Amino acid sequence: MQVKNTELNLHFYSPGKTTEHHFEEPPLVESRSCPCPQPSFKNRANWCPNNNCPPNANASTHQVTHLIVHHAAGTNTANDWAAVVRSIWDFHVNTRGWSDVGYNWLIDPNGVVYEGRGENILGAHFCGTNTGAEGVCMLGDFTSITPKASAFQSLTQLLAWKACDRNLYPIDRSFHPASGLNLLRVSGHRDGCNTSCPGDAFYPLLDSVRYSVIEYIDNQCNTSILPAPYNLTYAWTGETAIQLNWSYDLASPNIKFSVERSVGEDYRYKSLKELPSSETTFKDNTIEANKIYYYRIRAISSSSASAYTNKAIINTAVSSSSQIESSLVILYPNPAKDQIAIYSEIMLSEKAEYQLTDVLGRTILLGKLGKTTFPQPISLRGIKDGWYQFTITDGERKWVGKLLIQGN
């Protein structure tokens, strides 16, 4: 067999060791209408201190409409993650011929955020249809494992900052002109073309990412000086009517309450009523059978808004006479990792059971509570990260709540 002479070109790149340099933190972004702050990050001078990983000098900007999540499909362990970022830059620039690292942001397993191309810079990461798409790469390979809780938290904060800034609701779909696809505002790489990215183990968790972003924007971004109302409870006043009750420590003619409700799911709230801060009750006479209602309340003024109360959840698939009031049972912590504790202010019979179901209605856990003392611990080990419904059934009485598991 004859082998023709061929020319083989090899490219070797050593990212080197990252030497310790002390840089000032990147300047804070300008004040925005959205209260979510930009997370701290390592800029290019931090992850490429020798200045041999230059950005594209002629980078194009664009208007971001979608946020795309990736994984690097590389190592899950490293002593120097900045060196890993440099290696990705080298692969994208010197092997693929791109003008810069393809992603706008990268996050290592420890939760450290690295600036790639940066905010609002046209990237090279989404199936050749990058206009409108800002890309975040999770460093690691998540084909068979999921990101660590620290990385998940940084991803949540980064997406919350950008989604809030651009007014992108993570679970809404919107047409993405560059790809011609109707995409969720927070999508995975594989939603745009034939790829396994961001990994078979991580991709199913993107719903949890979306809901975590919404929760973060609603309850953790707010830096308002307005105190929040608290202790939201409800009571049935008729077959189709409930009364909400809450507490507040500051009554002022300049402050109002925004009473909000979502029907069927926990994250599409609409304002029902604005009330003066002297009123701490509200009656809803529009309850229908076989639906789940979610309520929340916050204080608002002409220039600010407080955090929300706890949620009141009303499930009319259960009769009003048999439903356990939402405030009488608490799951803690929530979000949870490997264990929760059930706190209940009511006595349960020996028949009392708990059930954990996933978003598809599949039973994940089933067990007995019975006549027990509280708190009652329940192990969550081995359960995948995501949103779940937690139900307590005691004869005809029932309590239903939401539980977010993350970090397993």
Which tens digits make up the pLDDT trace of 100-114?
999 999 999 999 999
- Domain 326-405 is in which class? mainly beta
241/230 Cα distance (integer angstroms): 22
What residues does each domain of the chain span? 44-219, 230-315, 326-405
Work out whether strand 133-138 and strand 66-71 pair parallel, antiparallel, or are unpaired.
parallel
Joined together, the tokens standing for residue 133 give 């798409």
| Overall pTM > 0.75 | no
Residue 334 has pLDDT above 90, yes or no: no
Grade residue 32 by pLDDT with cuts at 50, 70 and 90: very low
End-to-end CA distance of the chain: 55
The answer to which of 40-49, 217-226, 228-237 has the lowest mean pLDDT is: 217-226
CA neighbours closer than 13 Å in the CB half-sphere of residue 313: 25
d(CA 229, CA 296): 10
Compare 353 and 107 and report the one with higher pLDDT: 107
Which percentage of the chain shows pLDDT scores above 70?
A: 85
| Span 369-405, pLDDT tens digits | 865 666 788 999 889 888 888 999 888 888 888 888 8
Give the pLDDT of residue 20: 52
**Percentage helix, strand, coil, to 5, in the chain?**
15, 30, 55
Token representation of residue 311: 């949620």
- pLDDT (0 to 100) of residue 345: 65
Question: 161 near 37, Cβ under 8 Å?
Answer: yes
pLDDT > 80? residue 315 = no
Residue 227: its pLDDT value, please? 87
Q: What is the mean pLDDT of residues 78-103?
A: 96
Per-residue pLDDT reduced to its tens digit, 185-198 = 999 999 999 999 99
Look at residue 31 in the predicted model and tell me its pLDDT: 33
**379-389 core/surface letters (b: 16 or more CB in 10 A; e: else):** ebeebbbbbbb
Tell me the fold of 44-219.
Lysozyme-like (3.40.80)
Tell me whether domains 230-315 and 326-405 share a fold: yes
Note the pLDDT of residue 408: 66
Q: Return the DSSP state at 42.
A: B
Region 123-152: what's the mean pLDDT? 96
Query: Mean pLDDT, to the nearest integer, of 68-79?
Result: 96
> Which of 1-15, 186-200, 212-226, 236-250 is modeled with the greatest confidence?
186-200
Give the total residue count for the chain. Answer: 408
Residue 22 or residue 371, greater confidence: 371
Q: Mean pLDDT over residues 281-306, rounded? A: 87
Q: Which fold has domain 230-315?
A: Immunoglobulin-like (2.60.40)
pLDDT of 28 reads 31
β pairing state of 105-107 and 133-138: parallel
Task: Please give the pLDDT value at position 397.
Answer: 83
Sign of CA dihedral 310, 346, 356, 359: negative
